[in-house]
Structure 1
Amino acid sequence: MKIAILTDSSYDGKEKDYKDLYVIPLMISKQNSEQIYDDGNLSKDAFYEMLDGEALKTSQTLPGDMMKMWDKLLSEYDQVIFSPISKGLSGQFNTYRMLSETEEAYKGKIFVADTNGVSVVAQQQIRNIAMWIAENKTGFEILELAKLHSQKFVAFIVPKTVETLKRGGRIGSSAAALAKMLKIVPILRYDGEIEKEQVARTFKKAILESIAFLKKECKGIKKIDLSYSRTPDETITFVKSLIEKEGLKINIESELTNVICAHTGRETIALVGWKG
Structure 2
Amino acid sequence: MARVAIVTDSTAMLPSDLGDAAALITSVPLQVIVDGTSYDDGVDETSPAALLAALAAHKTVTTSRPSPALLAETYAKLAAEGFDEIVSIHLSAELSATCESSMLAAREAPVPVLTVDTRLVGPGVGFAVLAAAAVAARGGSATDARDAALGHVAASGSYFYVDTLEYLRRGGRIGAAAALLGTALAVKPLLTIEDGRVVPHARVRTAERAIARLQALGIEAADGEESVEVVVGHLGSPDRADAMAEGLASELGGKVNGDVRVGELGAVLGAHVGPGCVTVTVGPAL
Check conservation: 2:8, 2:90, Cα contact below 8 A.
Answer: yes
Q: Which moved more, 1:207-216 or 1:254-263?
A: 207-216
- For structure 2, the 5+ residue unaligned runs are none
Answering whether residue 189 of structure 2 is matched by residue 186 of structure 1, we say yes
Check conservation: 2:129, 2:149, Cα contact below 8 A.
Answer: no
Q: Secondary structure at the match of 1:42?
A: helix
Cα distance, 1:246–1:55 mapped onto 2, change above 3 Å = farther
Q: Quick one: distance in 1 between partners of 2:246 and 2:134?
A: 32
Cα distance, 1:252–1:242 mapped onto 2, change above 3 Å = closer
Matched to 1:67, the amino acid is A
Q: Quick one: distance in 2 between partners of 1:129 and 1:246?
A: 29
Answering whether residue 210 of structure 2 is matched by residue 201 of structure 1, we say no
| Per-residue deviation, residues 62-111 of structure 1 (Å, max 9, x unmatched) | 222221121111100222222122222112113322542x43x44x5222
* Structure 1 counterpart of 2:268: 259
* Structure 2 counterpart of 1:92: 98
Cα distance, 1:140–1:239 mapped onto 2, change above 3 Å = closer
Check conservation: 1:227, 1:256, Cα contact below 8 A.
Answer: no
* Structure 2 counterpart of 1:231: 236
* Structure 2 counterpart of 1:71: 76
Q: Which moved more, 1:253-262 or 1:149-158?
A: 253-262
| Per-residue deviation, residues 221-244 of structure 1 (Å, max 9, x unmatched) | 565623323334432333234435
Check conservation: 1:15, 1:22, Cα contact below 8 A.
Answer: no
Q: What count of residue pairs does the alignment treat as equivalent? A: 269
Check conservation: 1:227, 1:271, Cα contact below 8 A.
Answer: yes
**Pick aligned residue for 1:48 from 48, 52, 55:** 52
Q: TM-score, normalised by structure 1?
A: 0.83
Q: Secondary structure at the match of 2:161?
A: strand
Cα distance, 1:133–1:198 mapped onto 2, change above 3 Å = same
* Structure 2 counterpart of 1:135: 138
Cα distance, 1:246–1:202 mapped onto 2, change above 3 Å = farther
Cα distance, 1:186–1:114 mapped onto 2, change above 3 Å = same
Cα distance, 1:152–1:20 mapped onto 2, change above 3 Å = same
Matched to 1:270, the amino acid is T
Matched to 1:46, the amino acid is A
TM-fit CA distance, 1:271: 1.0
TM-fit CA distance, 1:200: 0.5
Q: Quick one: distance in 1 between partners of 2:86 and 2:70?
A: 15
Cα distance, 1:267–1:223 mapped onto 2, change above 3 Å = farther
- State the percentage of identical aligned residues: 19
- For structure 1, the 5+ residue unaligned runs are none
Q: Quick one: distance in 2 between partners of 1:85 and 1:4?
A: 18
Matched to 2:281, the amino acid is V
**Pick aligned residue for 1:122 from 121, 125, 135:** 125
TM-fit CA distance, 1:214: 4.2
Q: TM-score, normalised by structure 2?
A: 0.81
Q: Quick one: distance in 2 between partners of 1:22 and 1:208?
A: 36
* Structure 2 counterpart of 1:146: 149
* Structure 2 counterpart of 1:270: 279
Answering whether residue 12 of structure 2 is matched by residue 6 of structure 1, we say no
Check conservation: 2:67, 2:101, Cα contact below 8 A.
Answer: no
